[in-house]
Amino acid sequence: MNMPVTEDQAAEIAAQRAIERPTRRTVSPALEERLYRPVPVLDRGFIRVVDYMGDDSAIVQAARVSYGRGTKSVRDDAGLIGYLMRHRHSTPFEMCEIKYHVKLPIFVARQWIRHRTANVNEYSARYSILDREFYVPEPDQLSAQSAGNRQGRGEALEGDEARWVLDTLRRDAETAYDHYEAMLNEGEGADPGRRGLARELARMNLPLNVYTQWYWKIDLHNLFHFLALRGDAGAQYEIRAYAEAMLKTVRAWAPLAYDAFVENRLGGAELTAGQLAVVRRMIAGEEVTRGTSGLSKRVWDELQAALAG
């Protein structure tokens, strides 16, 4: 894996981490230990926590509208947070916020930005020049189109098929970036007799696997919604890799909320009224088939998948 940050960026991160500030605010010691450090994702990407507000006690305090740090017992706090999660009481989780610095391929960013409940500030290729960095999948992530899912992957590509795809991705990305640099006509090798194209126009030639960066700030309730969708096994691998890295930061930040989320959302399942009726029939001892269930094939398959775990 390539280094996700340059030497200068690593030095800046070290300088940030060397500063210690006394505070009366609630802090999460486990997240403080991770603060500013980049966590590698994919081949050249990363996430890193750059700021946060609140922890498990902020959720409990908001739910009870109380002073102090919640109840006397962690068990009581865990029970309350679990109750809030199960019954979708979202507001107490909105009392916690976190800000990430993320480096990600542009095609992943376009999926990510569909979550409109965050504050985002992206690196601007109108003002700055994008780096020569592209996402190229690992060979085991190259798959053919799924026959049954229009937005999913099927069987893995192997041998000459996989080599051709990887070579094409690298070659096309390098060629596009060479042309991008040539159109900009800046820096070393620039032709003083030729005007460069405006940065806001030159960027349109770049492929979607070029890396961009942004700062992304979100409250815990909406972060959980993002992670439930993008951390799901059915999510695209590339964005799921970021979700999995972010889940580890949430576990360090608010472990009781993390446990409630895993128990009730990631590890749980929602049933339709029809699916619930089928489960009740099964519990009563009836042998229910797809034909007698009254469910469509898709809804029946989803129920079977949920019951199989």
Active site residues: 230
| Amino acid identity for residue 259 in this structure | D
| Amino acid identity for residue 44 in this structure | R
Antiparallel, parallel or unpaired: β 211-219 and 119-122:
antiparallel
8 Å CB contact between 122 and 212: yes
Closest CA to 219 of 90, 109, 82: 90
Residues with Cβ within 8 Å of residue 290, at least 6 apart in sequence: 297, 300
Taking phi over 0 as left and psi of -120 to 50 as alpha, with beta for the rest, 303 belongs to alpha
The sign of the torsion formed by the CA atoms of 235, 241, 244, 246 equals negative
DSSP count for the chain of H helices, then E strands: 13, 7
Kindly list the distances between the CA atom of residue 222 and the CA atoms of 33, 119, 303, in Å, as whole numbers in the listed order: 24, 11, 26
